[in-house]
């Protein structure tokens, strides 16, 4: 359900800004890798959930999906990625 919610949110923002413009922004050079990882994690979560039916792997895929969405969303906020990096750097040591 979490994955379907993320898919619905992507489609809904497509209605707001237009699908072509959203697609162009998603695969901009600054967020290309983040968008690929996010979309890949969406697909991986669905594959694991429906074919492998492994709860643990599905939860891991959902966590990866959440982190990818966070990183992708941060690309729209100026200096947000730098702030996340510095916060994690401070936490990790």
The answer to whether residues 65 and 45 touch, using CB atoms and an 8 Å cutoff, is yes
63 has pLDDT over 90: yes
Structure confidence at residue 39 as a pLDDT band (50, 70, 90): very high
Two structure tokens written together for 23: 């697609």
CB 38 within 8 A of CB 72: yes
Say yes or no to pLDDT of 16 above 90: no
Where exactly are the structural domains of the chain? 1-53, 55-92
30 close to 75: Cβ distance less than 8 angstroms: yes
Confidence of residue 75 (pLDDT cuts 50, 70, 90): confident
Q: What pLDDT digit, counting tens, does each position of 43-52 carry? A: 999 999 999 9
């Amino acid at each position: 359900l979490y994955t379907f919610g993320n898919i619905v949110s992507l489609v809904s923002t497509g209605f707001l800004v237009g699908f072509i413009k959203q697609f162009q922004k998603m695969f901009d050079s600054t967020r290309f890798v983040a968008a690929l990882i996010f979309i890949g994690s969406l697909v991986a979560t669905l594959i694991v959930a429906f074919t492998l039916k492994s709860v643990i792997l599905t939860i891991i895929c959902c966590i990866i999906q959440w982190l990818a969405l966070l990183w992708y969303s941060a690309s729209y906020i100026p200096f947000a990625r730098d702030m996340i990096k510095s916060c994690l750097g401070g936490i990790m040591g």
